[in-house]
Amino acid sequence: MRGSRSVALQLTTLKVLLEHAQKIDKATRAEAFDMLAPKDRLSAVTPDGQLLGTVTMSAPRPRVTIDDEQKLISWLVDRYPDHLADDMVVTGPADRVAEVLAAYAPELVTRQPVLRDWARAELIELAQAAGHPVGPGGEVELPGISVTTPNGVVSVRLEPGAASTIIELIRSGHLAIDGTLRALEAGESDAA
């Protein structure tokens, strides 16, 4: 069994290494983000050509948000009334409404259009496909809907056995702990 000082030193060292690795990972992912387009793929290979893994950039779908439903409903009322349903809105005080509704007092309720669930799904699907708000008839001046496309994500997928190969490359001095090649052989390049 090891002594407490040895365990403490190892844990402290590992914490520093992890924090350092996270900083390097963040900076290197940013570098990869700048050089990759959505759906691009890079191969990570050893100096002798063994595939260690791949680095890819995702291609996220646009995200559609109905951020002002009332503006959208106002726009749809005259153009696509079938996309709307009537809904009752209670306008009186709750205790009075409960009492009067029991006696069927229609003056305490009003009707207003609300977006049908199928119409909401249709408008979101149309906007996702177009990458911008679009109406059922192809209209592009559609209020109340916003579309944003998030940035892609750089991801790394390791090949089987890559971890042990990388550890051996580090141990043998060919690869620095941060993953950079220590020295290239004459005539080699890391450009892809």
CA distance 32 to 35: 5
66 DSSP assignment: E
Q: Find the range with the poorest average confidence among 25-29, 68-72, 110-114.
A: 110-114
Non-local CB neighbours of 36 within 8 Å, separated by 6+ positions: 42, 55, 56, 57, 152, 154
CA torsion 157-23-20-1 (nearest 10°) is -50
Q: What is the Rg, in whole angstroms, of the alpha carbon atoms belonging to the chain? A: 30
Judge contact between 73 and 84, C-beta under 8 A.
Answer: yes
Q: Mean pLDDT in the chain?
A: 88
pTM above 0.75, yes or no: no
Count of all residues that appear for the chain in the document = 192
> Which pLDDT does position 186 carry in this prediction?
45
**Which residue would you say has higher pLDDT here, 96 or 33?**
33
Res 99: pLDDT: 72
Banded model confidence at residue 141, pLDDT cuts 50, 70, 90 = confident
Per residue in 157-168, pLDDT (tens digit) is: 999 999 999 999
What pLDDT band is residue 106 in, cutting at 50, 70 and 90? low
